[in-house]
Structure 1
Amino acid sequence: MSEIQWQAPLCGGDGGNSCIQIGHTSTGTPILRETARPNELITTTHESLRYFIEAAKRGELDHLA
């Protein structure tokens, strides 16, 4: 896999034990990971990631929290 450019992690209120990072490859493929498991990567498309973020903003994922 090509080199990944990671953004700063987004962490929950538990002292930094629940952190998610988003990044992208040199070709632009979005990638997600938990910082506690840096070798387990989730790749997706821009369209799917956009839909996921929009659904979260609308509250469609609130039942998971």
Structure 2
Amino acid sequence: MVEGIKWQKSSFSGGGGEQCLHVANHGGEILLCESDDPASIITTSPEKLAAFIAGVKAGEFDHLVG
């Protein structure tokens, strides 16, 4: 992961650390990376992340993890 960025992970990720999605706010952009591939970073806006989270809460993506 990029040093100097304060990454956060969900408490639902488990204790092992190998199944984690990390998120950070850096300069007004939202950064996402996976613990098993920390060099690959996805960048998005707070608005796009909020829309995605609303979709998750509404169950729109349940078929992907079931």
TM over 0.5: yes
**How much does 1:22 deviate?**
0.5
Percent identity between matched residues is 41
**How much does 1:28 deviate?**
1.8
Output the CA distance in 1 between the equivalents of 2:14 and 2:31.
19
Task: Return the TM-score normalized by structure 2.
Answer: 0.79
Runs of 4+, deviation exceeding 6 Å = none
Unpaired runs of at least 5, structure 2: none
Output the CA distance in 2 between the equivalents of 1:17 and 1:50.
25
Kindly provide the CA deviation profile for residues 11-44 of structure 1, in whole angstroms up to 9, marking residues without a partner as x: 158x44211011021x121011101111100000
One-letter amino acid matched to 2:19: S
How many residue pairs get matched? Answer: 61
One-letter amino acid matched to 1:57: K
Unpaired runs of at least 5, structure 1: none
* Pairwise CA RMSD: 2.0
The structure with more helix, counted as a fraction of residues: 2
